[in-house]
Amino acid sequence: MAESKSGFTPQNPGFANRVQSSFAQQSVMNLIGAELVKVLPGEVEILLPFRDNLTQQHGFLHAGIITTIVDSACGYAALSLMPADASVLSVEFKVNLLAPAKGERFVARGMVVKPGRTITVCSGEVFALGSEELKLVATMTGTMMTLQGRPGVTEG
């Protein structure tokens, strides 16, 4: 089984499949062209190639699109450590925008800081890649909640 640097042990041996199948149901990821590229216990990465139709008024990636990929990366990092029958919900997050999001592609990394039965705290980073070196463009701190036993919600 894949081991994260963080040393978390997943409760659900099928955590990677669980994350992949839930990600496949996030239709917004298909709209923007984002892909799930890494799933470890407590750590998930999502890749987003730049597209002109994802931008704000200065031609950079819109902060909401940055949030879309890093929120999912954090949520799935949390889900990777939850029981097999659980689902994940974002309770709240804070995003800091550190530099203009310009680049050829972007990687959002979500990492579990503190897992919990009900509440899991995650940390996220978004990097821009291009002709220049890797650049940190945003950070997130998010609170994720474990949902269990709610048919119609917890199956996703």
| Binding interface with a copy of itself (CB under 8 A) | 22-23, 25-28, 30-31, 52-59, 62-65, 67-69, 71-72, 87, 89-100, 113-114, 118-119, 121, 123, 136, 139, 141, 143, 145, 152-153, 156
Closer CB to a copy of itself, 49 or 100, in the complex: 100
Q: What minimum distance in Å lies between the beta carbon of 81 and a copy of itself?
A: 15
Q: Encoding tokens for residue 65?
A: 């699109």
Give the DSSP letter string of 65-103. HHHHHHHHHHHHHHHTTS-TT-EEEEEEEEEEE-S---S
Give the DSSP letter string of 4-50. -TT----S-TTHHHHHHHHHHT-HHHHHHT-EEEEEETTEEEEEEE-
Closer CB to a copy of itself, 57 or 131, in the complex: 57
Closer CB to a copy of itself, 11 or 26, in the complex: 26
Q: What minimum distance in Å lies between the beta carbon of 9 and a copy of itself?
A: 19
CA–CA–CA angle 81, 13, 10 (5° rounding): 25
Q: What minimum distance in Å lies between the beta carbon of 107 and a copy of itself?
A: 15
Closer CB to a copy of itself, 1 or 20, in the complex: 20
Integer CA distances (angstroms), 57 to 42, 52, 61, in order: 35, 11, 9
Q: What minimum distance in Å lies between the beta carbon of 11 and a copy of itself?
A: 19
